[in-house]
Amino acid sequence: MGETVALSEKSPSEIDAFLQTQRTAYDRLVTQGLKLDLTRGKPSAAQLDLSNELLRLPQGFTAADGTDVRNYGGLKGLPELREIFAELLWVDPEQLVAGGNSSLTMMKDCLVDLLLHGGVDSERPWSQEEKVTFVCPVPGYDRHFTLLESLGIEMVTVPMYDDGPDADAVAALVKDDPSIKGMWIVPTYANPAGSVCSQDVAARLASMPTAAPDFKIFWDNAYAFHHLTEDEAKSADIVKLASAAGHPHRPLEFASTSKITFAGAGVAFLAASPENIAWYVKHLGTGSIGPDKVNHLRHVQLFKTADGVREHMRRHRDIIAPKFAEVQRVLTERLGTQEVATWNDPAGGYFVNLDVVEGTASRVVELAKAAGVALTPAGASYPYGKDPKDTNIRLAPTMPPVEEVTAAMEAVATCVLLAAAEKYATV
């Protein structure tokens, strides 16, 4: 077809013809009976295979300090595992807890503890405040928002830029309103925007005056080591930045091996000030006699060192970078000249952020579903599932084999074009 004129600049009859073309293409797509899924950021079987040695580990069951890892105890996690990840996250091992299989659980635990008990710098438990609000950069991670909603915490949004959240907007919100108690951020290769929070933005978030004395940055560094190129982004060191700015208890940094080893059987980490760690462990201890240290030892023996983790991540990159490249190729070839969509080309993480013609994201997802391609629900990257402009679609290409990524993206492109044509045809 070879259009080179943007869809919005075509004449009504050209748009009508275009709409017919897209309908035909879509009808053909539906007859293919696809069954593809780009919904969730899950590692593929080939990625999981990289860690299959875990299935035969650990060798022995004795920790470096003589602890029998099979038995109870050790709330903070296995010291030798904490050493490896403390090096990767630039904290002292004493500032790091290694826990169970989910950093999301640690985030929830922290929120529940803040609600029921208050933090180290709180005047009272957050549940005794009239209102608690979090700043949510958008687009963001749907589970962050669902978690806040389930706990009755309100949400206010700020834009996510290429260098992180809009620091001016955040600073203006938190300056005078003591009910604003915290914020989310996925600082490195953000979900889904792919952006990396710059040193400068992080420093501003770490140092900005907040009306709440116990303001918390939930720094979900889920993709800290998940590079897609050889130009490996360095996460800002929020723990040290906040400490240097006189707000040592502001950040709670989360990380995990969920997308390093086994998504369901990895190890989660919390890094924070020593006081925050003591606070967390104290409350953790009322409901736990210690994490799964056998799994901790497995991970120590798999990685051996921090460099072992870095090397392991390069093997992930080799598997998934071609899938991300395929997303770029199809989007560029099919939508590059139409001006019906913009998207990012992330240097890491698990997602591609696709923005379609305003008001058509839900329609694209609906069309794709009818054609057998599951996409994350439109709006999922916004609090309460409501994307005010209905433009945002999160694409997660890691899980399917590359040929399925191709097929799914071809389908997505067809749906984006049809939805855009429908929209312009009715204007």
**Between β-strands 216-220 and 373-374, what pairing exists: parallel, antiparallel or unpaired?**
unpaired
* 35 near its own copies, judged by CB under 8 A: no
- Please report the sign of the dihedral spanned by the C-alpha atoms of residue 188, residue 189, residue 194, residue 196: positive
* 265 near its own copies, judged by CB under 8 A: yes
Quick check: 190 and 394 in contact, CB under 8 A?
no
In one letter, which amino acid is 293? K
Strands (E), 251-391: 251-256, 268-271, 341-343, 352-356, 373-374
Residue from 258, 273, 338, 406 that binds its own copies (CB under 8 A)? 258
Residue from 287, 403, 426, 427 that binds its own copies (CB under 8 A)? 287
* 1 near its own copies, judged by CB under 8 A: no
* 133 near its own copies, judged by CB under 8 A: no
Measured CA to CA in angstroms, residue 299 lies from 3, 97, 262, 312, 364 at distances of 53, 15, 10, 12, 41
Q: Which part of the chain contacts its own copies (CB under 8 A), choosing from 1-9, 10-18, 193-201, 281-289? A: 281-289
Which of 295, 406 has the CB closer to its own copies? Answer: 295
- Please report the sign of the dihedral spanned by the C-alpha atoms of residue 55, residue 61, residue 62, residue 63: positive
Rg (CA), the chain: 23
* 289 near its own copies, judged by CB under 8 A: yes
Q: Which has the closest alpha carbon to 134: 248, 218, 206?
A: 218
Give least dist CB 68 to its own copies, A. 6
Which of 43, 251 has the CB closer to its own copies? Answer: 43
* 105 near its own copies, judged by CB under 8 A: yes
Q: x/- site string to its own copies, residues 292 to 311, per CB under 8 A?
A: xxxx----------------
3-state secondary structure of 237: coil
* 383 near its own copies, judged by CB under 8 A: no
Which of 71, 332 has the CB closer to its own copies? Answer: 71
Q: 124: which 2 tokens?
A: 């009272």
Quick check: 351 and 140 in contact, CB under 8 A?
no
Q: 305: which 2 tokens?
A: 């060192």
Q: Which part of the chain contacts its own copies (CB under 8 A), choosing from 20-28, 62-70, 218-226, 378-386? A: 62-70
Q: Which part of the chain contacts its own copies (CB under 8 A), choosing from 212-220, 241-249, 257-265, 364-372? A: 257-265
Residue from 74, 140, 379, 383 that binds its own copies (CB under 8 A)? 74
Q: 394: which strand partners? A: 353
Give least dist CB 264 to its own copies, A. 5
Q: Which part of the chain contacts its own copies (CB under 8 A), choosing from 54-62, 242-250, 311-319, 378-386? A: 54-62
Measured CA to CA in angstroms, residue 47 lies from 109, 316, 408 at distances of 29, 6, 20
**DSSP-derived secondary structure letter, 72:** S
In one letter, which amino acid is 303? F
For residue 91, how many C-alpha atoms fall within 13 Å in the half-sphere facing its CB? 32
- Give the helix, strand, coil percentages of the chain, each rounded to 5: 45, 15, 40
Give least dist CB 258 to its own copies, A. 7
* 33 near its own copies, judged by CB under 8 A: no
Residue from 264, 322, 359, 388 that binds its own copies (CB under 8 A)? 264
* 45 near its own copies, judged by CB under 8 A: yes
Chain residues that interact with its own copies, rule: CB under 8 A? 40, 42-43, 45, 48, 51-52, 54-58, 61, 68-74, 100-102, 104-105, 107-109, 112, 115-117, 127, 143, 146-147, 150-152, 258, 262-265, 283, 286-295
